[in-house]
Amino acid sequence: MRERTGSAFSPRLVDSFLEQQGIEVIGAQLDRTTAETWAELLNRRYTTSDDWKAAKLASVKAKLPDEALLPASRVPMTTDWWIALAVEHDADAFIAVDDKGEEWRSLREKGRARSFNDTLRWLENQPDVGD
């Protein structure tokens, strides 16, 4: 939406739309308990250090040119991982994301990472909040 509307974009437009649709954007707080919970989840999903490095590298490489060189040992955990974990942690939440990266795999498999177009179709099928 930012790209389409350019300088006319206002976050208030998005807020207003979400309010009208009755959609709540979840908050994500990273405290010690959450960090430990997510670390345990990631440890079960990526059982070795090499598996975890490869997952992060696959996620970052998807956004870089093919010729980019990046050692797996130096790849950080991106913000997308935190967002995906926050959505996964909330059983009622889903996310609209067209990114096919590793960080969204679990949510895609559960049908909780929807494309932009699928999200629009979902919204169109929701009853009006006033009903």
Q: Is residue 39 part of a domain?
A: yes
Region 28-46 average pLDDT: 91
Q: Is residue 1 part of a domain?
A: no
Q: Is residue 102 part of a domain?
A: yes
Region 106-116 average pLDDT: 93
Q: Is residue 13 part of a domain?
A: no
8 Å CB contact between 81 and 59: yes
Residue 89's SS3 state is: helix
- With a CB cutoff of 8 Å and minimum separation 6, the contacts of 107 are 84, 87, 88, 94, 95, 113
8 Å CB contact between 62 and 101: yes
Q: Is residue 103 part of a domain?
A: yes
8 Å CB contact between 83 and 98: no
Q: Is residue 111 part of a domain?
A: yes
For residue 62, what pLDDT is reported?
Answer: 66
Region 5-21 average pLDDT: 85
Q: Is residue 74 part of a domain?
A: yes
What backbone phi and psi angles, to 5 degrees, belong to 96?
A: -95, 110
For residue 129, what pLDDT is reported?
Answer: 54
Tell me the residue range of the domain where 69 lies. Answer: 27-124
Minimum mean pLDDT range among 8-22, 39-53, 60-74? 60-74
Work out how many domains the chain is built from and give that number: 1
| Percent of the chain clearing pLDDT 90 (strictly above) | 34
Region 30-46 average pLDDT: 93
Q: Is residue 22 part of a domain?
A: no
Q: At what angle do helices 79-89 and 32-45 cross, to 10 degrees?
A: 100
For tokens 């991106």, the residue is 78
Q: pTM for this one? A: 0.70
Q: pLDDT at residue 40 above 90?
A: yes
